[in-house]
C-alpha cells in the first residue's frame, strides 16, 4: 500500500514538470514568433530595394544605349567623317609645304628653271597655234599652184617640191623669231622697272587668294612689273580696277624713244573666249629729269583686239633729249566692267650717249 502512493506522487511530479516544460516551450514559441516576423519583413524590404535599384540601372543603361545608337545612325558619323577628311586634306597640304621647305636650295633653283622653261615652251606653243592658220593658207595656195603647174607641164619637176620645203622652213623660222626685231628698253631682265609710286593700284580680287579656315593668307595677284617680262600666257598679266589706269616705267637706260609695242593674248587662247579686259585706247608720255619732271606727249594709239597679238606703234612726236622714264596711260578697254589687264609693254628707241 505504501508503494502505490509513492508511484502516484512520482507520476504527478513528472506530469507537472512536463506541463511546465510544455508551457515554457509554448511561451518561448509565442515570444519568438514576433521576432521571426520582423526578420522576414526586413529581408523582404531589402530584396525589393535591390530589385528596384537593379531595374532602374538597367532602364538607364537601355536609354543610354538607345541614345548612342540614335546618334550613331544620324548626323554625328557624317560630321565626324567630314571633319576627319578635312583634317587629312590640310595635313597633306602641310606635309607638302614642309617638304618644299626641306628641299635643298639647288633643287629649288632647278625646279624654278624647269618651270621657266615650261612657261617659255607654252608661250611658243600658243604663238605657233595662233599662226597655224596662216601656215595652212600658205601651204594650201602652194599646193594648188604645184598641182596646176604639174598638170600644165605634164612632168614631175622636183624643183617645186624643194621650193615648198624651203617655204615651210622659212615660215617655221619666222614663227620662232621675235616679231618685233627691235631692242626692248622696258625689259625687266635688262634693268627696267616699274615705279609703284607713280603707278595705279592693282585690282584686288578675293578669288585670287588662298584660304585656310576662311582666312586669306596668300595672294597670287600679278605685280605691275609683269608687263615688263616676256612671259605672255593666259592669266599672267597686271590688272588694275576699271578701264583707266597708268604705269610709270624706268627704262634700262636713257634713250630717244621712237616706237612702242603692246602685246595681249588672243581670243583663241583666252579661257573666257574673249579679251574684253584688253586695253583699247592708250597714250604714252616721256618723263624728263629722272622721272620727276614734266610729261612729254609722245602719242595716242588704239590696240586692235582682232589684229595681231603683238602690235607696234611708231611714236607720233619725236623728242630731242634722251629720256629715262616713260608713262603709259590706259584710257579705255574693250568692255570689261571691272578691270583692265596688261600683258606686255615694250619701248624702242635709240640709246643715248650716257647709259
Residue with cell 602685246: 263
pLDDT value of residue 300: 97
Q: Does 33 fall in a domain?
A: no
pLDDT value of residue 100: 63
Q: Does 313 fall in a domain?
A: yes
pLDDT value of residue 23: 46
- Do 250 and 215 lie in a common domain? yes
pLDDT value of residue 281: 98
pLDDT value of residue 164: 66
Asked if the model's pLDDT at residue 131 lies above 60, the reply is yes
Distance separating alpha carbons of residues 281 and 303, to the nearest angstrom: 6
Lowest-pLDDT choice from 42-46, 88-92, 93-97, 237-241: 42-46
Alpha-carbon dihedral 276, 278, 281, 283, rounded to 10 degrees: 160
Q: Does 3 fall in a domain?
A: no
148 or 62, greater pLDDT: 62
The stretch 77-89 carries a mean pLDDT of 58
- Do 86 and 116 lie in a common domain? no
Span 197-244, pLDDT tens digits = 999 999 987 655 443 444 443 445 789 999 999 888 888 999 999 999
pLDDT value of residue 27: 41
Given 125, 141, 176, the domain boundary residue is 176
Average pLDDT, the chain: 74
Asked if the model's pLDDT at residue 74 lies above 70, the reply is no
Q: Does 326 fall in a domain?
A: yes
Given 155, 176, 197, the domain boundary residue is 176
146 or 14, greater pLDDT: 146
Q: Does 181 fall in a domain?
A: no
Band (171; pLDDT cuts 50, 70, 90)? low
Identify any residues that bridge with 211 across adjacent strands, giving them in sequence order. Answer: 216
pLDDT value of residue 235: 87
138 or 325, greater pLDDT: 325
pLDDT value of residue 85: 66
Distance separating alpha carbons of residues 189 and 119, to the nearest angstrom: 16
**DSSP summary character for residue 245:** E
* Residues spanned by the domain of 127: 112-176
- Do 94 and 141 lie in a common domain? no
Extract the C-alpha cell encoding 69: 545608337
- Do 149 and 237 lie in a common domain? no
78 or 331, greater pLDDT: 331
Span 21-50, pLDDT tens digits = 444 444 444 334 444 444 444 555 666 666
Q: How many domains does the chain have?
A: 3
pLDDT value of residue 59: 72
Half-sphere exposure of 119 (CA within 13 A, CB side): 14
- Do 163 and 205 lie in a common domain? no
- Do 227 and 304 lie in a common domain? yes
pLDDT value of residue 117: 67
Distance separating alpha carbons of residues 248 and 240, to the nearest angstrom: 14
- Do 202 and 347 lie in a common domain? yes
Distance separating alpha carbons of residues 66 and 60, to the nearest angstrom: 10
Distance separating alpha carbons of residues 334 and 336, to the nearest angstrom: 6
- Do 344 and 201 lie in a common domain? yes
- Do 274 and 217 lie in a common domain? yes
60 or 3, greater pLDDT: 60
95 or 180, greater pLDDT: 180
The stretch 95-111 carries a mean pLDDT of 66
The stretch 73-102 carries a mean pLDDT of 60
User: Would you say 259 and 313 are in contact if contact means Cβ atoms under 8 Å apart?
Assistant: yes
Extract the C-alpha cell encoding 343: 600683258
Distance separating alpha carbons of residues 353 and 204, to the nearest angstrom: 42
- Do 167 and 204 lie in a common domain? no
Q: Does 7 fall in a domain?
A: no
- Do 202 and 334 lie in a common domain? yes
**DSSP summary character for residue 196:** G
Contacts of 221 (CB under 8 A, 6+ apart): 202, 203, 204, 205, 208, 239
Distance separating alpha carbons of residues 236 and 238, to the nearest angstrom: 7
pLDDT value of residue 142: 66
Q: What is the pTM of this model?
A: 0.53
Band (75; pLDDT cuts 50, 70, 90)? very low
Extract the C-alpha cell encoding 146: 604645184
- Do 310 and 334 lie in a common domain? yes
pLDDT value of residue 216: 40
Contacts of 228 (CB under 8 A, 6+ apart): 186, 187, 188, 192, 193, 194, 249, 344, 345
Span 268-296, pLDDT tens digits = 888 888 999 999 999 999 998 778 888 99
Q: Does 31 fall in a domain?
A: no
Extract the C-alpha cell encoding 342: 596688261
Q: Does 80 fall in a domain?
A: yes
> CATH number of the domain that 219 lies in?
2.60.120.260
Amino acid at each position: 500500500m505504501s508503494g502505490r502512493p509513492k508511484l502516484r506522487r512520482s507520476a504527478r511530479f513528472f506530469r507537472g514538470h512536463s506541463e511546465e516544460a510544455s508551457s515554457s516551450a509554448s511561451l518561448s514559441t509565442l515570444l519568438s514568433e514576433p521576432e521571426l516576423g520582423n526578420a522576414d519583413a526586413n529581408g523582404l524590404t531589402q530584396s525589393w530595394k535591390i530589385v528596384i535599384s537593379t531595374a532602374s540601372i538597367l532602364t538607364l543603361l537601355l536609354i543610354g544605349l538607345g541614345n548612342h545608337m540614335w546618334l550613331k545612325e544620324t548626323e554625328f558619323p557624317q560630321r565626324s567623317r567630314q571633319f576627319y577628311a578635312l583634317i587629312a586634306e590640310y595635313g597633306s597640304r602641310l606635309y607638302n609645304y614642309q617638304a618644299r621647305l626641306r628641299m635643298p636650295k639647288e633643287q629649288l633653283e632647278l625646279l624654278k628653271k624647269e618651270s621657266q622653261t615650261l612657261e617659255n615652251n607654252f608661250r611658243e606653243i600658243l604663238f605657233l597655234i595662233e599662226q597655224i592658220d596662216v601656215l595652212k593658207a600658205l601651204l594650201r595656195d602652194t599646193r594648188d599652184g604645184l598641182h596646176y603647174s604639174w598638170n600644165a607641164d605634164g612632168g614631175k619637176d622636183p624643183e617645186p617640191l624643194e621650193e615648198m620645203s624651203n617655204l615651210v622652213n622659212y615660215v617655221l623660222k619666222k614663227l620662232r623669231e621675235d616679231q618685233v626685231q627691235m631692242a626692248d628698253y622696258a625689259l625687266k631682265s635688262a634693268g627696267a622697272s616699274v615705279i609703284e609710286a607713280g603707278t595705279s593700284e592693282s585690282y584686288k580680287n578675293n578669288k585670287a587668294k588662298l584660304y585656310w579656315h576662311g582666312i586669306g593668307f596668300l595672294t597670287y595677284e600679278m605685280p605691275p612689273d609683269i608687263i615688263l617680262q616676256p612671259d605672255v600666257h593666259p592669266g599672267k598679266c597686271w590688272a588694275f580696277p576699271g578701264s583707266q589706269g597708268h604705269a610709270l616705267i624706268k627704262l634700262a637706260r636713257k634713250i630717244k624713244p621712237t616706237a612702242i609695242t603692246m602685246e595681249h593674248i588672243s581670243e583663241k587662247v583666252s579661257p573666257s573666249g574673249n579679251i574684253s579686259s584688253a586695253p583699247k585706247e592708250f597714250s604714252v608720255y616721256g618723263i624728263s629729269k629722272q622721272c620727276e619732271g614734266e610729261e612729254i606727249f609722245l602719242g595716242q594709239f588704239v590696240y586692235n583686239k582682232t589684229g595681231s597679238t603683238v602690235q607696234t606703234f611708231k611714236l607720233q612726236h619725236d623728242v630731242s633729249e634722251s629720256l629715262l622714264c616713260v608713262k603709259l596711260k590706259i584710257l579705255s578697254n574693250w568692255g570689261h566692267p571691272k578691270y583692265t589687264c596688261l600683258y606686255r609693254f615694250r619701248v624702242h628707241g635709240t640709246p643715248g650717249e650716257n647709259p
